Structure 1
């Protein structure tokens, strides 16, 4: 973790995002400057992802039901039949598309914040890895941009490593959205899916797990990084069973892009959030960003705050098919110590708290 914080301190002095080559030849005009056009494209690219993640699945499900009630019902029936046939694909490595991962829209997405990926150590293609990603934030912009696309150059920085970002399994039950997610190399965060990637897909695989999950998102707030990790040991046990090295990953700035109304523990609203989290799998947060046309209004567009994702030093993990609780606790303590031992190693990082 010291390497993560040291690397982050170094990039704070860096410059912002680069201009895209496609905008170099735009004619100069007082109402159509290159910077304004670029900014508008960045906002659109980010907003389309936010709307896709929040609404695409539900919208396509309703559309499919509607088509069943029209004269075009045969199209809906054919798609449903294919969906049933393809149902287990997300749990069997998915359907990654290099073309989608390299879309130009993701470079605009990256430059909006901007998002940067920092490498501190080499990763061997002969090993498999489990990346522990922190913090969750509201919508995991850093995790998606760095590991669900090639906008920050993951494959060039870590040659021979294939990242698979794990997210809620419920997203893969929704038409169209499931295919959109799979094209970016995103997989369900369940045992079957992760086991398949780490045991039946060769080596050089890196499953990215947002360890804090939905519970952590309820505590995210600008200025303070609260990490839900103390009682999260499942990913460590999985790493031991598969012999996959643990890699801590931290995104500085992930909690800065949205403002959230946080309810105190014990209140009725907090209790409702917890129960809905257990029922539907994610936490219904009350958050806002800025408006589409103005930073002074409320909306779903995230604030332009830099996100710097630092991939730390891997922790070598042996393969133990049935690890004892003592061994799991040992490696979990090793993982946690990387945070606690470096809490004062830099003045650039905001305060961090490890919660249950």
Structure 2
């Protein structure tokens, strides 16, 4: 049981941040920006706020290193959180209540205001201890990650202001791990593709048994996609990490005018998350082949076609990753580095050719991202600051 949290200033700052309801839809980021400016002033560090899209602020707090010409370190987090159903929560989701057994209940405790505050608190400790680092540290807070990050990290990463930061390595969020001594990290992500397949056939009376109907073609397409889905699901059921498996889900079917009329057009939509090791060109050619096999008048188009982003190498060629592993091991923990099953803002950073690792030191914690009663234990938060402090010091001195 934790009993001294009342006097822990880091915990109280974290709770203050959690109480800002930066929740979708229609997020107002003004209070987050005010809070972060206050933290920068307390740290005596310069802070800049960019708006590449109106009302979508990007906050950059900078701690200059002894050798500012070296590529810098980016510590990124997002300010926004997903919606809540307050009736399902034990405590109000924006009160940051601490239970008797030491858990902080609030939306954002895991995803990911805790990590943003760990970044700030780690830098605070290093500065207060009189430590100077070789590389410059940029602590960034971005908007809209929970709705795709297009107006947040995507716009930021493509800007001249981002390039001027001269980033050499980046950290962002991963996910909690129920194991007490293992941190879950991500070095790559699946590629999101959403498609709609259109099947055309001759319309006619519903009593006719003719060939080449839109329904027959739709059946062929659905069978191909769902067979592939079953093969991929079998891998997960056999124990493969689901970040390494292509996810396919049928999400919409539409078409037809009346139940006794053969439809001229039927469409089916699929949400696809392509595993990092899959050849994207081959995957697209496979879909084109299926459409051709289904019959004349079958085609597909992309609703979303994200580009493939190469994973950060963890083969010893990225020195920042190597020192991270050593520091964590020296503290008595390990890192399990895998591909992210979902998506984070780091895909935009990696797209710029920058090595990046998703890293949330939330051990001994159930995964409650986006769940009711999202929570983190006070001791987990404190331990996370300890780990981030050591990691930041190490990677900034590479």
Place the TM-score, normalised by the shorter chain, in its bin.
0.3 to 0.5
TM superposition score normalised by structure 2: 0.31
TM superposition score normalised by structure 1: 0.34
Normalized per residue, which structure has more strand? 2
Normalized per residue, which structure has more helix? 1
Structure with higher Rg: it is 2
